[in-house]
Structure 1
Amino acid sequence: MTVYFGKQRQLATEKITPTHGIVLQLIRRVEGSGHKLYIDSYFSSPALCDDLLECKINTCGTVHNDRRGMPQEIRPKSMKLKKGDIVTRVKGNLSVVHWKDKHDVYLLKNMHPPPLDGNFRDECGRAIKPHVIEENNVHMGFVDKSDRMVNRYGIARRTRKWMKKLFFHLLDMTILNAYLLHKSCDGKMTHKKFHKILVCDLILQSHEANITVSDVSRGRPSSSGAQLSRLEVKHSKHWPAKGKQRHCLVCSINKKSRSRLFCCKKCDVALCVVDCFEKWHTHVRV
């Protein structure tokens, strides 16, 4: 991947668009190997397809009908099609397919034989989708599915700084890739559960790191209760209170028997006010 910063400087001898140049930059490692590249309308153009073919890369993808090099006669103003109509124009190895369904669809390709012109509809009057359109949808569907999975549990938030937006997107992609690796190893967790467990593990690691921080910290001095991470939370209600006579839970874990009247208001466990109360609320495992 590469980050697009808007209009980028091109060499004086290159009369290409910035998106055209980015695609040529990204395929440098695979040029000459006979790959097939599926692209969307944001990048595709006749000039790009010709350049990629010189690199032995076949292309297929939707295209805007007003791109430079597109034939004038297939535009809506020049040709009014009915539902199910297919019009094809060929120039060398490059084909343009104009298919009419609910909307006009334009496909640019040099890897499939061009479909026949005509009107193709089933018995119910529905437009029959050409094979080249179906194959393009299948391959582009993986990209669409990836975007949907990233956005389903995305952590990105609105921000005016593009660097933050990029960081959150990369983090979402990293989490998705980790989940796909988990599934490839016969993992049984759902996408949602994977996210939940990941967040819980990160919180626990951060909690343990906060406990091991030395009392003398650099920079601005912290408040006296900074190490009591559970007590720091606003309205947490983890406060000592009098209750029934019960054995201190921390002492019991350490195989000591001590009865106490004090307990944690929220946790509802008996604790010694000195030492045990702090240990219970700062140590993940006592």
Structure 2
Amino acid sequence: MANTREEALQTITDSEEEFTCSSDDDEDLEDESFHLKKQSETTKGPIYNESVALPSGAYHTRAASKRHSFFCTEDNLNQCESDSDQIPAAKRARTLSWKEETDVDQVPQTLRFLPAREPGPKLSDAESHSPMSLFKLFFTESAMENLCHNTNAQAARAIAKGCKYTWTDVSVDELYRYIGLVFYMAVVKMSSIADYWGEDSLFSLPFPATVMSRDRYRTISWNLHMSHPDADEENDRKRGTDQHDRLFRIKPLMDTIRLACKAFYHPRRNLAVKERLVACRANIGMTAYMKAKLTKFKFFVLSDSSNGYTVDFSVYTGNNSFPTDRGLSYDAVMSLLDRKVLGSGYHVYMDDFYTSPKLFTDLFTLKFGACGTYREQRKGFPKSAANSLSRRSSRGSIRWIRDGPLVCVKWMDTQVVSVCSTIHAAYTGERVQRKIKAQHTWKTKSFPCPAPVTAYSQHMGGVDLSDQLLQYYSAQHKTMKWYRKIFLHFLDIAANNAFILHKELHGNMTHDQFMEELIAELCGVSQKAAPKQFSTDHVPIPGAELTSDVRRIATVGRRICVHCKVVHRKKQQTPWKCQACDVHLCLQLNRNCFQEWHKSL
């Protein structure tokens, strides 16, 4: 298995270092350019011809140097006075109007699917892979050694500054046990960390104390460090300059996990891009403000829509997260879609935060199809009201406008749904079922639905599926430092991807069974043998408060013995009960029900 890991890592590293387009790809690109050129000349859709002469002096402006909007607006047509003779008013009106579902849409050119590697897990399905061996693909031995080294250095620094706790250097095996306890707490929820080691409660848990003590767990949590503290100080001195790296404290482990995510699994054709939020109250300039008055770390995530596997991710560090100046949403998507690593012909689905005509056409040039909801007020989208949907439009009504490979579709459901795509035709006959209320009864009715809307609903669930799997057994809990929040999210990504790999390779475990075996292997215990519970609370105590009347001491608080009633079918009364079990039991020389009762526990 070590050879398989090294081969996969070498493959993904080589593909990132060097990639050249084949002659077939060049021919495809020329064919596509010819197709788009021919289509732009012949289509009757709402295309603004870039060869039309600009108004006098327009070439001196910055806007004139940019590409024209993909869809004509009424203002643009009014400005093109020199074109009034070439484009009649009636024709301009038709250009601006939305088409209906009865109008035939030209199917866009289908991109050939040419993945860089065979989609699926890059591990041998003939071998048996345990949950821990798959988890170690992401948290490797070398990464754990580096984590231990930095954690020990941070603890030494803290003790030198006067922290009053005992510390011994953490080892790799102990750190794996620590991670096992973190996952155990993700599966078994308690109100606080201290409750996992409590012994005076009905809900006491014996397992955590058999792995490590409470104080040891807490000291490891306080000092957990992914980068060396001396290097952190050097990076902090550069704050405010271009040399400062906001992700310095998490980058060593983040780079390892990102490389492993791409190395051991190649995604299938349908991908999803979406943001993932990790709650945190830290105010460090990298968090995004939410309406719930909680600042959150924002991850841009690329996932496989078929199973929710996290293919790649990036961390939002502010508006200057990316070097280019085309907008955060544009740069976030482009940073995740690397043709050298993925290949070409992929279909990418995204929500309205990312969708823009510029992004979709650039992706199409790179041989990536795209589909997503869009915001009508965003620049470049059609804003014409001619023949558009209104609040009074009937349910199932469809309007669309096409410009080359780009089609914008509006569909009336309970409200207007706006979707843009370079993959689908506007309407190909799909229908959806909806429940409507008629004459005080609910009935199911079929409505026409645009092809982009149907595909978006089907494939955009990829990231939602990934988030759902993460939330089942999320390792997130309160921490003192922001980078430990992200460390816990790295654990979630590694465990979730390991489960998906195991499911793809073997498929013989449910999610909870996988987590149970992973926890047992990380903690070094047997999954079958549950730890024996030892308690000193099973002692006999009086069943009621003692009375000051000496004559009634033997009779006050007497109740029927549970053991006598269940086993012997007799109603024997006794003043004694068990402190832990809270049941009355006989305690006499010739009838010791207290001892017999606890033998069966």
1:92 offset after TM fit, Å? 2.6
Determine the C-alpha separation between the residues in 1 that align with 2:522 and 2:343: 44
User: Structure 1 pair 166/105, CA: closer, same or farther in 2 (3 Å)?
Assistant: farther
User: Which of these residues, 27, 30, 41, is aligned with residue 337 of structure 2?
Assistant: 27
Secondary structure, in 3 states, of the residue corresponding to 1:50?
Answer: helix
Instruction: Give the structure 2 partner of residue 279 of structure 1.
Output: none
Aligned to 2:406: 94
CA contact (8 A) 1:32 1:57 kept: no
Give the match's secondary structure for 2:524: helix
Change (3 A) 1:190 1:10: closer
Q: 1:59 and 1:171, CA in 2 relative to 1: closer, same or farther beyond 3 A?
A: same
Matched, 1:104 2:416: yes
CA 1:42–1:189 in 2, change beyond 3 Å: closer, same or farther?
same
Structure 1 residues 100 and 48 mapped into 2: Cα distance closer, same or farther (>3 Å)?
same
The match for 1:145 is 465
Deviation of 1:174 after TM superposition, in Å, equals: 0.9
Contact 2:322 2:332 in 1 (8 A): no
SS of structure 2 residue aligned to 1:84: coil
Q: 1:66: how far off?
A: 2.1
1:202 aligns to 2:522 (yes or no): yes
- Shift of residue 78, structure 1, vs aligned partner: 7.6
1:6 corresponds in structure 2 to 318
Name the residue aligned to 1:281: none
Q: For 2:344, give the aligned amino acid.
A: S
What is the Cα deviation at residue 96 of structure 1? 0.7
Task: Specify whether residues 59 and 160 from structure 1 end up closer, same or farther in structure 2 by C-alpha distance, changes over 3 A only.
Answer: farther
* % identical aligned pairs: 29
On the 8 A contact 2:432/2:447 being kept in 1, the answer is yes
Q: What is residue 155 of structure 1 aligned with on the other side?
A: 475
* 111 and 125 in structure 1: CA distance in 2 versus 1, 3 angstrom threshold: same
Output one character per residue of 1:11-69: Cα deviation in whole Å (capped at 9) or x when no partner: 6xx65111211222222334873332222222111111122122222211112222221
Shift of 1:10: 6.1
- Secondary structure of the structure 1 residue equivalent to 2:344: coil
User: Does residue 1:46 correspond to 2:369, yes or no?
Assistant: no
Answer yes or no: is the 8 Å Cα contact 1:121–1:128 preserved in 2: no
SS in structure 2 at match of 1:143: helix
Structure 2 equivalent of residue 182 of structure 1: 502
**Cα gap change, 1:54/1:193 in structure 2, threshold over 3 Å: closer, same or farther?**
same
CA-CA distance at 1:3 after TM superposition: 1.3
Task: Tell me the number of residue pairs that the alignment of Structure 1 and Structure 2 aligns.
Answer: 209
Relative to structure 1, the CA distance from residue 53 to residue 178 in structure 2 (aligned partners, 3 Å threshold; closer, same or farther) is same
Q: 1:83 to 1:162 in 2, by over 3 A?
A: farther
Instruction: Supply the distance in 1 between the matched residues of 2:513 and 2:331 (Cα, whole angstroms).
Output: 41
* Cα drift, residue 101 of structure 1: 0.8
Contact residue 84 and residue 120 of structure 1 kept, 8 A: no
Q: Which amino acid aligns with 2:518?
A: L
C-alpha distance 10-177 of structure 1, shift in aligned 2 (>3 A)? closer
Alpha-carbon spacing, 1:195–1:116, altered in 2? closer, same or farther (3 Å): closer
Q: SS of the counterpart of 2:460? A: helix
Report the equivalent of 1:266.
Answer: none
Q: C-alpha separation between the residues in 2 aligned to 1:188 and 1:121?
A: 34
Which runs of no fewer than 5 residues in structure 2 stay unpaired? Answer: 1-312, 435-442, 526-530, 538-601
- Tell whether 2:328 aligns with 1:18: yes
Letter in 1 for 2:346: H
Residue in structure 2 matched with residue 268 of structure 1 by the alignment: none
1:192, CA displacement in angstroms? 0.8
> Are the structure 2 counterparts of residues 104 and 236 from structure 1 closer, same or farther at C-alpha, using a change threshold of 3 Å?
farther
How far is the alpha carbon of 1:162 from its aligned partner?
4.4
CA distance in structure 2 between the aligned counterparts of 1:4 and 1:54, rounded to whole angstroms = 26
Q: TM-score, normalised by structure 1?
A: 0.62
Q: Which of the numbers 50, 61, 64 marks the counterpart of 2:372?
A: 61
| Equivalence map 1:228-267=2 (5 Å) | 237=535
Q: 1:4 to 1:238 in 2, by over 3 A?
A: same
Distance in structure 1 (CA, Å) of the matches to 2:479 and 2:373: 31
Amino acid in structure 2 at the alignment position of 1:26: L
Whole-angstrom CA distance in 2 between matches of 1:157 and 1:35? 36
The 2-side partners of 1:78 and 1:139 are apart by 26
Find the structure with the greater CA-based Rg.
Answer: 2
Q: Which amino acid aligns with 2:402?
A: V
> Which of structure 1's runs of 4+ aligned residues deviate more than 6 A?
119-123
Shift of 1:103: 2.7
Amino acid of the residue matched to residue 148 of structure 1?
A: Q
Compared CA separation, residues 199 and 129, structure 1 to 2 (3 A): same
* Residue 132 (1) aligns with residue 442 (2): no
In structure 1, stretches of 5+ residues that fail to align are 206-229, 240-286
Q: 1:98 Cα deviation (Å)?
A: 0.9
Q: Secondary structure, in 3 states, of the residue corresponding to 2:409?
A: strand
Letter in 2 for 1:200: A
